[in-house]
Every structure is written in C-alpha cells, then in structure tokens.
Structure 1
Amino acid sequence: MGKLRGFQIGLDNLQGLFWAGQTVSGRAVVDLESEMKMREIRLTFEGKANVRWSESRGSGKNRHTVTYRASECYFNTELAVFGKGLSGGDEYTLPPGQHAFPFSFVLPPNLPSSFEGNHGYVRYIVKGTIDRPWRFDDHTVLAFSVLSPLDLNQLPLASQGAEATDSKNLCCLCCKSGPIVGTIKVHRLGYVPGESVYFEASAQNMTGRECGMSANLEMVTVFHARSKSRSSVQTINSIQHQNLNPGDTNVWSGDRIILPPLPPSYLTHCNIIDIRYYLKLIIDPSGPAFDLVVPIEIIIGTVPLHSAVQQYHQTLSSVRPSAPPEIAMPAPSYNESILGPTNITEEGDGEHTQGQLNFTPTYTYYNWSK
C-alpha cells in the first residue's frame, strides 16, 4: 500500500526569486513510512496569468451572474524524475525512507513579474506528482517569484518632473461656493521600492467649509477579460496634513512616502493585467461633497535612475566621509510584497495536495531610507 510521510519541493535558491532566463533548480523529496508502488514521480513547471471575476445582471427573475475571464500560458513543461518517464515500464517500487530527486529547469525569456491580485494573478509554480496505480495521486506545490526588469534609465519620462492642478466648486441649496484649488508636484516620476517620493503640494480653500488634506499612494490594477475590463484600487500609503480653514491657503512640503516592496509598473509581457501607480493630493470638504483629487502617475521600476544613485552617493559621502566607494551603491535586497499572502489552491487540489499553499511574491527593495 505504501504510506507517505512527506512530499516536498525545495529550491537551491532559498529566496525563491528568479529573473527570466535563469535556471530553477532544487530537489523533490519523498519521505515514505513503507514501500510504495507507483508509475512515476514527475514535476510540472508552469507559468501562467489568469483573470476572473463575476457580476450580477438583471433584476427579479431575470437576475443572473456573468463571469468574465481570460488567461495566458507562458510555459507548461513536465519533467520525470523517477519511474516510467525515465526508464519506461509500467510500475516501480520505492523503498521506505527519504528520497531526493534533483531537477533543473531553464525559464524562458520575456516573462512578466509575479503578481497576486483580487481578480487575477501572474503565477509560477512547480507541482510534484506521485502517479500511483489504482489510487489517488499525491501532489505537492511550490510557488516561486519571477521578476521582469524595468530599467528606469530606459524610460525618458522617469527622470522628468511633473505638476498637476485641479479645482472644483461646491454647491449647496443651488448656491455655488468659491473654488477649492489643489496642486501637487514631484521632481521626478521614476522610483524603485525603498526610495522616498518627496512631493510639494498647495491648496486654496475659497469655500465656507473646513477641508481635510492628505496625500495617497495608490496602485490601480486593470484586469482585462475578453469582453470587458475591471479596475481595482488599493491605497498603499497615506499621509495626513493639517486641515484647511475657509479662506486659507496652505503650502505643504518636506513630507515623503517611502515605497514598500511592490510589483513594477505596467507588468510588462502580460497582456491581461496592467499596473499603474498614482500619487494623489486629496482635499476633503466637510459635509456632503465629493473630494477634490489631483493625481500624478509615477513609475515604479526595478533598476534605479543613475541620477538617484548619484544623489544617494553624495548624501552618503556627506554623512559618512570615510565610507568606502564600494558601499555607495547598495545592492537591492528582495522582500515580500506589502500586499501580503494569497492562497494559491486551485480546482482539483484537495487532501492529497500538500506544499506551500499560501504564497507572497518577492520584489526588489533598495534600503535607501537610512
């Protein structure tokens, strides 16, 4: 019969992070309490993107649910590490104890970065299968992160500054108030996780109401199905400023937002998910009224601007004159996404599937905040 104590996949790269074109290597480990008959042990390497969400349509008896979906497959490769796929034959017996089966797989080029969202994902997994005759197969799953480089130096907009201004009037009992005017400005648009986004903002309140004032960093993800798209907005960070009294003008400078580990902008090489980041000045009038929102789109990459590196070097030299040159440019670390873990269990996974079923993608992070 054979009793399975454990079935796990381990990677030689303990961080589980790879760039497109690199080799994923490791071992599939099978731990048996007693001998087990099987056809083979195989690994499936899979990279894919999926988008899916449902919406209600109609009313009453005509109310129904419509599901929108799309998918992309980047690779799907099987590799036998024991049994039939290596030696032919129909049945093999594995003795009790722990058995390790090494493997390696070369990732194709031009892969999108890993991403887990509320309506879709880009996901890379290794799935191990013990193919057992006349019994349920045993499975184990391990997800790993893939990063697609986004070099800010290759994007002309990244080094440019930007400024945005907008205004609105409040209406109350058919009377129009004076305007609220807001402006936000950044000196460049391109950043990497770990950098600080410094901004300047100003607001003029010509209404009769007190207004709150804040700045938000938001990630806007657009999921594209075959016949429709859907957006999701997540606030990554928010800074509150002092309130703006009626008739007052306020200038806001000196604050910053440090970028946490996040997927790069655009999700290059994926055609069904798009990611954008916006720094927004938000002016919130008291009472019933819509906020005034003034956005600037910023770009989050994986390779920093040369000008930002030079500025970091100058700052380091001023605070640590004896610092050796080789530490002037910190290499990136790789940290788990601020967005947190996702359960990656799929249809068909059940009691015979083990492994890492909660997964958090890993992204570049430059610890420049110090």
Structure 2
Amino acid sequence: MGKLNMFAITFSNPQGVFYGGQLIQGHVTVELNAEIKMRGIRLHFEGGARVHWTETKSEGTGKDSRTVTEHYSSSETYFKHILVLFGKGPGQKGTDPVLQAGRYVYPFSYQLPSGIPSSYESSDGQVRYSVTGVIDRPWKFDHKTKRAYTVVDPLDLNQEPQAKQGEIRNGQKTLCCLCCKSGPISCMLRLDRLGYVPGEAIPITGEIINGSRRNMTCSFADIKMIVKYHATSKTKTENKIVSKISHGPILPGDSDTWNGDLLPIPPLPPSGLRGCRIIDITYRLALNVDPSGIAFDLVVPINILIGSIPLRSVARQYGPPRPLPLPPLGSNEMPLQPTMPSAPSNMDIPPPSYAECVFGKVNIRDENDDEHTRGNMNYAPVYSYYNWNQHEANTFVPVTEQQQNRH
C-alpha cells in the first residue's frame, strides 16, 4: 500500500463548473500510513489552449521518394498559479518538514481570471483547465493528483443583436439525367431566430420541391459544428455534425414540407470560443436534399449562434426561475450549481442544469503526468443545458462527416 493511502482534490462545487472571475474553493485530503519527509504540499492551477496535428506527404521520386510527417502546433497560456498548502514552495530554502501518519484536510481557494474561454476538448485541440496537487519529496519521486474542471463562457444571447433575428434562405440545383438536364430541385429554409442555447429544440420550417426526374433519397436537417485550429503556420478546419433529423424519399414531381420539426441542440460549447486565439467555433444549421444516384446534395445553410444564457423572451415561456440550492448555514461552501457572473441582470432567467459534452470523455493525461500521477484521467467538459424540451443530454450521438455522406 505504501506510505500514501489517499491524495485527493475535492471542489466545494461538486459539478466542477466555473465562470471567469469566479472563486474556486475546495479542499485537499492527504492520508498517510507512515510519516513522510517532504519539501511541501502544493497546488498548481493551470489554464491554457493547445492545438496539434500531423500531416504526411511524399517527397522525392522513384528510389529517392520518402514519406515525411510534418507537425503543426500552437499554444497559449491563460494562467499559472502555485498555492502552498504545507511546508515550502518551489525553490525555497530551509529544513524539510516531516508530516506524521494521519489524515489531513487542507482548504484552498483561487480566483479565476476574467475573460477566459470555455473548456473544449478534441483530438486536434484543447482548451483545458486543471489543478494538480504535488507532494514534493527530496530525492524521491513526487506524489501527484490531478483534477480537471470546466470553465463556461457566459455568452448572453440578449447581448447579441443577431440572436433575435430570423432568416430565410433558398437554394436550387439542376441535375443531369442520361446526358440531359432535368428540372431543378429547390429548397427553402426558414428560422424565426438565430440564437439558441443547448437543450432547446429548433423548429425547422421549410419546403422542398422535386422538379427533377430523379428520386430524392431523403431530406435531412442538421447542425454542424465548424472548428478552426490555428497553428503558427497553418489552419485546419474540422466539421462535426452534432444533431440530425430526417424525412423520407421525395418522388419526381413531388414536394415535401417541414412544419416545425424539432432539431435538438445537445450540450456544446458556446459559439466563438471567445478569449481563445488559436481555436474558433461556429455553428451552421442546414436543410439538405440527397438525390439518388451520383450527385452532390443540395444544401441550404444558415449560421446560428449557440449561447450559454438564453433570450429572456424565450425563457419567460417556461415559467419563473427555480431557486438555486444554497449551502447550509455556517458553511463556506459554494452552491451546488454555479451562478452566472452577471447573475443580478439574469434573475428572470431559469438557471441551467449542466451536462457532459456530446462528444464524451477524453484522456487528459499529458507530458507532465507520469505513473505516479493519481486522479481520474477520463474527463468531459460540462456545459450549460436548459432541459426545457425534455431531451436527455446523454442520448445525443454526434454524426461524422463520413456518416452524413453514406446514404
């Protein structure tokens, strides 16, 4: 079992969701079976973004040809802070203290900087926030424990003029049939507004007219997350379909109408990833028509805005806000659900619940972690989720670009 029986970080907010400028509070628990000589016990608070991907290409010809792998990367740091809980800080001189066997609880607090971006995780880029506990032992390996947490950017749709605006888009496509042109297929898509929050379901209004001599295999509406990763010398764009609903075939000369079919929005980071300069996120809703045979889809897109604070005009439809749970009298712990930094101006909006990102958990072990680092390394960011339409957050399965094109 060794001398260290327990080394764990606990947040007062059990959901581990915070906003820029908010205070992180909690405690570190250390349980020893025997005394340990150490320089000290400390916490390392870190927040930053990183992008990295590789591309392979061939160089040379014939016998001199070879495959080269090129790396593209960039990073930025939002904060680094060390908090000493016991003993000495890094580089401090003096006698190394000894911590006797027993159980010790060390409270901590740290105020996050304002204006930091939302957490985000993918294979090509991350905005990640974590706190690592270190038991610094002279001439021996250090004990470490790591805990990730989520930062959510409070993107308020009430402050975004385009969020209340509606939009109508039309598209048309002419197909070739046995070397002859057939009539066009046309599509109209209408949205009453452009701003939404996760948990809402978007009513899809549209009409498709098949003026061609070919069957339309199906029509479908989807929400696509478009992510741009900016390395120092190149930008990579990734498309992720995060929600999708479909209609059936449309025969030649026939039409199909979308009368408010609901397209749900799963737990997602807010648009823009404000505060991050190396990752951009936008969202696009589209009504798609898939012709049979060899032909590209007719796609009618509209850019939408995903926020973390809903429009008041929408929130009022769902009744008065629920009261936030409060800590017991005499407790210094935070409420179970974090409040928005601008809470006084949003008291008429129901508070959100919080749900794991639709893409699920990732492994957050990095180059600074070793076999002596404890903690749960499987982590998913948690985002604001307004369960107004009674959709279960964990039922969403993201659709890949390959699946979209496989009809």
Alignment TM-score, normalising by the size of structure 2: 0.84
In structure 2, which of residues 294, 299, 309 is the aligned counterpart of residue 303 of structure 1?
309
Which residue identity is paired with 2:33?
Answer: E
- Which residue does the alignment assign to 1:109? 114
Tell me, yes or no, if structure 1 residue 65 matches structure 2 residue 69: yes
Unpaired runs of 5+ in structure 1?
A: 315-326
Cα pair distance change 1:145/1:368, threshold 3 Å: same
Displacement of 1:259: 1.6
- Which residue does the alignment assign to 2:327? none
**What does residue range 242-321 of structure 1 map to in structure 2 within 5 Å?**
242-313=248-319
Displacement of 1:280: 1.1
- Which residue does the alignment assign to 2:7? 7
The answer to whether the Cα contact below 8 Å between 1:84 and 1:90 also exists between their aligned partners in 2 is: no
CA distance in 2, matches of 1:292, 1:49: 36
The answer to whether the Cα contact below 8 Å between 1:263 and 1:363 also exists between their aligned partners in 2 is: yes
Q: What is the root-mean-square deviation of aligned Cα atoms in Å?
A: 2.0
Displacement of 1:329: 4.9
CA distance in 1, matches of 2:118, 2:9: 22
The answer to whether the Cα contact below 8 Å between 1:2 and 1:35 also exists between their aligned partners in 2 is: no
Displacement of 1:13: 1.1
The answer to whether the Cα contact below 8 Å between 2:310 and 2:349 also exists between their aligned partners in 1 is: no
Which residue identity is paired with 1:3?
Answer: K
**What does residue range 1-370 of structure 1 map to in structure 2 within 5 Å?**
3-59=3-59, 61-85=65-89, 89-172=94-177, 174-211=179-216, 212-313=218-319, 329-370=349-390
CA distance in 1, matches of 2:6, 2:317: 51
The answer to whether the Cα contact below 8 Å between 1:184 and 1:294 also exists between their aligned partners in 2 is: yes
The answer to whether the Cα contact below 8 Å between 2:12 and 2:26 also exists between their aligned partners in 1 is: yes
Aligned residues: 358
CA distance in 1, matches of 2:238, 2:32: 46
Displacement of 1:262: 1.2
CA distance in 1, matches of 2:158, 2:388: 18
Deviations 1:339-359 (A, max 9, x none): 211110001422101112111
Displacement of 1:242: 2.2
**What SS is found at the alignment partner of 1:81?**
strand
CA distance in 2, matches of 1:246, 1:193: 37
Between 1:335-344 and 1:53-62, the stretch displaced more is 53-62
Cα pair distance change 1:166/1:344, threshold 3 Å: same
**What SS is found at the alignment partner of 1:331?**
coil
CA distance in 2, matches of 1:62, 1:230: 24
Deviations 1:41-100 (A, max 9, x none): 111100100111101122563320111111110001111111122985241211112211
CA distance in 2, matches of 1:236, 1:8: 35
CA distance in 1, matches of 2:299, 2:23: 45
CA distance in 2, matches of 1:118, 1:254: 35
CA distance in 2, matches of 1:19, 1:367: 20
CA distance in 1, matches of 2:78, 2:5: 33
The answer to whether the Cα contact below 8 Å between 1:23 and 1:105 also exists between their aligned partners in 2 is: yes
CA distance in 2, matches of 1:258, 1:284: 21
Greater strand content: 1
CA distance in 2, matches of 1:213, 1:155: 31
Which residue identity is paired with 2:263?
Answer: I
Alignment TM-score, normalising by the size of structure 1: 0.92
Deviations 1:159-190 (A, max 9, x none): 00011111222235543332221111100000
The answer to whether the Cα contact below 8 Å between 2:45 and 2:131 also exists between their aligned partners in 1 is: yes
